[in-house]
Amino acid sequence: MTDAALRILIIDDNALRATVLEEGLREAGLVDVRVITDMRELLRKIVENDPDVIFIDLENPNRDVLEQMFQVSRTVRRPVAMFVDRSDTASIEAAIDAGVSAYIVDGLKKERVKSILDMTISRFNAYSRLREELSRTKQALEDRKIIDKAKGILMRNRNLSEEDAYALLRKTAMNENRRVADVAQGLVTAAKLLG
């Protein structure tokens, strides 16, 4: 069960990932979700937003800015790291593996935000998977383009059918222990050089 009244602040200069997380939190019924993607005057913005829970991505050097908030006694509401006892080690591991760090404001019970944290971790992981899939898809597309080019060269210069051209590329790749796309790239480069 999540606590709809909690104010959550997402600090992430990756606007896409912040959106993925924001949507997830809203779907879970949290209405007060805020996002900071511009890191200038970060401390002032955090204080102005006055959040109950803060999420910040780990690649963000501004994590150290948050460290200062533990020290500023003039700020009435002070955030603390979500995990301050050893029983949380598994949760910290999961958060760090996912690439996010969480802070809750002093006085707020950890149990109230456990499900929000779990959701954040799973969204961060989902985002990483998405990014990996995207880059794999992009790679596959580029591979196919170059293989098609190489097939065309073989078909023209050696009078092969498309299937035979591909079979030749594949056999060469296997013999040389290389990827078909790499062999194709070599052929395309060589053909360019030879004019």
Partner 1 sequence: MKLGFIPLVDSAPLIVAAERGFAAAEGLRLELVRETSWANIRDRVMLGHFDGAHMLGPLPIATTLGIGGHLEVPLIAPFSLGLGGNAITVSEALFKEMQASGAELGAGPAVMAKALKGVVAERQNTSRPPLTVAMVHPFSGHNYELRYWLASAGIDPDHDIRLVVLPPPFMVDALNEGQIDAFCVGEPWNSLAVDRGIGVIIATKSALWRQGPDKVLGLRASFAEDHPDRLYRLIRALHRAAAWAGDPANRSDLASLLAQPAYVGAPPQIIERALGGHMVLRASEPPATIPDFLVFHDHAANFPWQSHALWFYSQMVRWGQIAHSAETADRARRVYRPDLYRTALTTTDADLPNASAKVEGALTEPMPVASRSGRMVLGPDGFFDGLLFDPDDVEGYLRKLGVNVD
| Residues forming the site for partner 1 (CB under 8 A) | 39-41, 43, 58-68, 70-71, 73-74, 78-81, 83-86, 88-89, 92-93, 96, 101, 106
Place of tokens 């383009």: 145
Closer CB to partner 1, residue 37 or residue 172?
Answer: 37
Name the minimum Å distance from CB 84 to partner 1: 6
| CA–CA gap between residue 167 and residue 171 (Å, rounded) | 6
Closer CB to partner 1, residue 58 or residue 174?
Answer: 58
DSSP secondary structure string, the chain?
---TT-EEEEE-S-HHHHHHHHHHHHHTT--EEEEE---TTHHHHHHHH--SEEEEETT-TTHHHHHHHTT-TTSSS-EEES--SGGGHHHHHHHHHHTEEEEEETT--HHHHHHHHHHHHHHHHHHHHHHHHHHHHHHHHHHHHHHHHHHHHHHHHH---HHHHHHHHHHHHHHHT--HHHHHHHHHHHHHHH-
Name the minimum Å distance from CB 39 to partner 1: 8
Closer CB to partner 1, residue 5 or residue 58?
Answer: 58
Name the minimum Å distance from CB 136 to partner 1: 24
Closer CB to partner 1, residue 64 or residue 111?
Answer: 64
Name the minimum Å distance from CB 153 to partner 1: 37
Name the minimum Å distance from CB 123 to partner 1: 20
Name the minimum Å distance from CB 70 to partner 1: 4
Closer CB to partner 1, residue 16 or residue 72?
Answer: 72
Closer CB to partner 1, residue 82 or residue 187?
Answer: 82
| CA–CA gap between residue 184 and residue 27 (Å, rounded) | 46
